[in-house]
Structure formats: structure tokens, C-alpha cells
Amino acid sequence: DAMVIQNPRYQVTQFGKPVTLSCSQTLNHNVMYWYQQKSSQAPKLLFHYYDKDFNNEADTPDNFQSRRPNTSFCFLDIRSPGLGDAAMYLCATSRDRREKLFFGSGTQLSVL
Amino acid sequence: DAKTTQPNSMESNEEEPVHLPCNHSTISGTDYIHWYRQLPSQGPEYVIHGLTSNVNNRMASLAIAEDRKSSTLILHRATLRDAAVYYCIRGEYGGSQGNLIFGKGTKLSVKP
């Protein structure tokens, strides 16, 4: 059974049109992460939530925001997607910061 | 600055052991060493992690140098399903941050 679920698997949006990606978890983990992975590159951490505490990476563009309305769900909002934002977006969870990560299968975002 | 250095690619024969090296010469005393792998079109998957002592689990073994500046992931008998990109990661837990920053990884090919 999937424990970290990302929907949709593929998302197409238009240049400049806001888009939201979703992630849910059945593990009741405290920490939820969003990574961006471009083709043939390593995943890049955008931000993470420790419970309700939001932690942004210093080089994450302002165009990317996140919401965590409850323990189970976390959303990635891209306010004005550019062509350079086309990538795989990976959600991950961990019980605590020093614990191993569980990844979802990712959402492949295309920007037209 | 990925803070870990790995070979871009390695090849192995099926059913032979594989040793994947990683250098992390600037590691601090509290940083864990994590290994994840990513199969094509999937999210990364946890393999193993450790701090100082060598570690074993059902997937692999992790050998950590005495000075902790390098480590080696050991797959005891490679199978075709082990073909993936393997990431060696420093888990940095200083201050209020606690996150995994991926390096470029090693692409492992397994030949029948």
C-alpha cells in the first residue's frame, strides 16, 4: 500500500498559470519535504515542514510556496510557472529529522 | 556544494559484489551518512545510513572509514533490479535545520 501519495502523476500547466501539486501520507510522520528534480539531475530540496514549522531553503525561489493544513497533507504551489520549472516534484516524509525518508512517486510537471 | 563526491557511473556484473565509494571529507561529527537509490521513473528509496560504525541491513552494508571522511556502500550480490542511481548524502542536523541534500549520485549499471 502506498504510504506517500502524490497526485496527479503527470501535470500540464501553461506558462504563468498557477498550479498546485498535492501530497498525502498515511504514516503520521512529523516532517514533510518537497524536492525538485530536473532531468538527469539530483533531487533539490525546496523546503520542509516539521509539524507546522515551515523551513525554506535559502535558494528556493519566491515563486514556490507550500501549505500544510494538517499532518496528512502538504501542497506545493507554483504561483507563476516558467519553462524552467518543468521537473519532477517529489514529496517525502520522515518521522523526525534524523529518520529515514519515504518518498512518493512524484508528479511530473510540464509547462507549455 | 553537494558536500559528497561520488563517481558518475559504475558497472557491475550480475551476482557479483559492488562497492560504491563516497567521499565526504568535510563531514562534521554529528552528520550521518545516508544512502538512497532511485530507479527510473520512481522516487528515491532508502538504502541504509550510519554515523560511525559499519552498518548492515537486508539490502546492503555500509562501511565507514575510521576518520569518517569516506564511506562505501556494499551490495553483496548485484541483481538486475539493483541498476539505479545511488546517492550518498550527508544528513546535516545543525541548529533547527535537519535535511538531506542530495549530491549527483552514481549511476550503477548491472550486466547479465
How do residues B80-102 score in pLDDT, each as one tens digit? Answer: 999 999 999 887 765 444 567 78
Sign of torsion, CA A20 A23 A28 A34?
negative
Cα–Cα distance measured from residue A88 to residue B22, given in angstroms and rounded to the nearest whole number? 25
Under an 8 A CB cutoff, do B99 and A42 touch? no
H or E stretch covering B75: strand B70-75
Cell 503520521 locates to: A28
Best mutation target, A31, A44, A97, to test chain B (most B CBs within 10 A) = A97
Name the B residues in 57-96 with CB < 8 Å from any A CB.
87, 91, 93, 96
Q: Which long-range contacts (CB under 8 A, 24 or more apart) does B42-46 make?
A: B42/A105, B42/A106, B43/A4, B43/A90, B43/A92, B43/A103, B43/A104, B43/A105, B43/A106, B44/A43, B44/A90, B44/A92, B44/A101, B44/A103, B44/B87, B44/B102, B45/A103, B46/A100, B46/A101, B46/A102
Q: Report, as ranges of residue numbers, the positions in chain B whose pLDDT lies below 50.
A: 95-97
Best mutation target, B100, B104, B106, to test chain A (most A CBs within 10 A) = B100
Cα–Cα distance measured from residue A25 to residue A18, given in angstroms and rounded to the nearest whole number? 24
A32 touching B, CB under 8 A? no
The confidence score (pLDDT) of residue B100 equals 78
B104 touching A, CB under 8 A? yes
User: Rounded mean pLDDT of chain A?
Assistant: 94
The confidence score (pLDDT) of residue B15 equals 96
* Nearest-neighbour CA in chain B from A16: distance (Å): 26
A55 touching B, CB under 8 A? yes
Mean pLDDT (10-residue bins), chain A, 112 residues = 89 96 96 94 92 92 96 97 97 88 95 96
A105 close to B43: Cβ distance less than 8 angstroms = yes
The confidence score (pLDDT) of residue A1 equals 66
The confidence score (pLDDT) of residue A37 equals 96
Q: Are strands B106-111 and B9-13 parallel, antiparallel or unpaired?
A: parallel
